[in-house]
């Protein structure tokens, strides 16, 4: 809905999309189905769908609320989850016997017990759809936005993206405008974000390998920047996707060059996400979480990486 209006989509937009899916699941067609694309887009903007004929009651009302034009008028994700779970919950039979008018009791087959699906105006096939959707949507609807203690920070100017970071982390921006990082007050973790090309400002090639994971592995194992950044580095990587874009997740354990002569140097870890641009000449995105490479910090750092990369919302140009 919001995309059609030229607005930035948010969580409420996802809920509107869910409403369209649920409507189509029970009616067999989109609530905005028209004969051509322009007419469909116009229907999305202005048409008010009819209550689905096969889904009255609580389910039908929920679908209609999800399809409201005003994002603020749609139910929250938590409310949607609760209602769907209530609808999908099996009927509870507290009285297996029914009392006869003249006393005593008789057994009533379960099929004749009060039908919860009928109570909500939902046919059996649609109920199966809701059951499946509840299972699929449990994690996405576990909460709205970032976890407690985190915040979404717009970084349009530097990254052309929104980022999710712990609220207490301090923001620092590099002078060249390509890097912004968030520092943990305790000094244990650091979150770095780049949006850059692998070329220096004067146009000459520098030694930055960009989003090429194989080249970056060699780069780190040779010592990183100017071969004086790290020693004894060991890097692994795997292909992933982010917002439908091909990407690479990379983990590198190393000893900082400055402390390599210590008797018992501390090893550190880079946990990184590399997202190439649409073409080789486009800037790429680089997300890095730095942490100690052993102990509880590794587990906590992995959690931070998951939340940071999950909260990175790149703005498509």
Report the predicted TM-score, pTM, of the whole model to 2 decimal places. Answer: 0.56
CATH topology of domain 145-314: Protein Transport Mog1p; Chain A (3.40.1000)
At 179-233, the pLDDT tens digits run 999 999 999 999 999 998 866 444 444 577 889 999 999 999 999 888 888 999 9
- Cα(50)–Cα(262) distance, integer angstroms: 73
Evaluate if residue 1 carries a pLDDT over 70: no
What per-residue confidence (pLDDT) applies to 80? 86
- Which residues in the chain are classed under CATH 3.40.1000.10? 145-314
Evaluate if residue 114 carries a pLDDT over 80: no
At 46-102, the pLDDT tens digits run 888 888 887 767 888 888 899 988 888 888 888 888 888 777 765 554 444 444 444
At 126-179, the pLDDT tens digits run 454 554 454 444 444 444 567 888 999 999 888 999 999 999 999 999 777 789
CATH topology of domain 11-88: Transferase(Phosphotransferase); domain 1 (1.10.510)
pLDDT band at 251 (very low <50, low <70, confident <90, very high): very high
* CA dihedral of 226, 229, 235, 240, whole degrees rounded to 10: -80
What per-residue confidence (pLDDT) applies to 27? 80
Share of the chain above pLDDT 90, in %: 37
pLDDT band at 271 (very low <50, low <70, confident <90, very high): very high
What per-residue confidence (pLDDT) applies to 87? 76
- Which residues in the chain are classed under CATH 1.10.510.10? 11-88
């Amino acid at each position: 809905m919001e995309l059609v209006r030229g607005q930035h989509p948010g969580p409420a937009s996802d809920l509107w999309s869910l409403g369209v899916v649920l409507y189509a699941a029970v009616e067999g067609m989109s609530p905005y189905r028209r004969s051509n694309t322009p007419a469909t887009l116009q229907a999305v903007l202005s048409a008010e769908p009819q209550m689905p004929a096969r889904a009255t009651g609580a389910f039908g009302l929920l679908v209609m609320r999800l399809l409201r034009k005003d994002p603020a008028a749609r139910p929250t994700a938590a409310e949607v989850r609760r209602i769907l779970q209530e609808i999908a919950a099996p009927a509870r039979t507290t009285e297996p016997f029914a009392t006869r008018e003249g006393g005593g009791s008789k057994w009533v087959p379960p099929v004749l017990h009060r039908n919860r699906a009928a109570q909500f105006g939902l046919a059996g096939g649609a109920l199966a759809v809701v059951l499946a959707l509840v299972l699929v949507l449990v994690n996405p609807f576990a909460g709205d936005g970032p976890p407690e203690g985190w915040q979404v920070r717009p970084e349009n100017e530097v990254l052309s993206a929104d980022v999710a970071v712990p609220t207490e982390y301090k923001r620092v921006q590099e002078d060249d405008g390509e890097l912004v990082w968030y520092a943990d007050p305790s000094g244990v973790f650091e979150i770095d974000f780049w949006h850059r090309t692998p070329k220096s400002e004067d146009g000459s090639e520098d030694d930055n390998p960009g989003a090429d994971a194989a080249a970056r592995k060699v780069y780190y194992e040779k010592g990183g920047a100017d071969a004086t950044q790290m020693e004894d580095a060991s890097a692994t990587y795997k292909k992933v996707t982010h917002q439908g874009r091909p990407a690479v997740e990379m983990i590198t354990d190393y000893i900082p060059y400055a402390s390599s002569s210590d008797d018992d140097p501390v090893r550190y870890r880079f946990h990184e996400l590399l997202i190439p641009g649409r073409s080789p000449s486009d800037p790429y995105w680089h997300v890095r979480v730095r942490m100690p490479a052993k102990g509880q910090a590794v587990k906590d750092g992995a959690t931070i990486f998951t939340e940071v990369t999950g909260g990175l919302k790149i703005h498509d140009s």
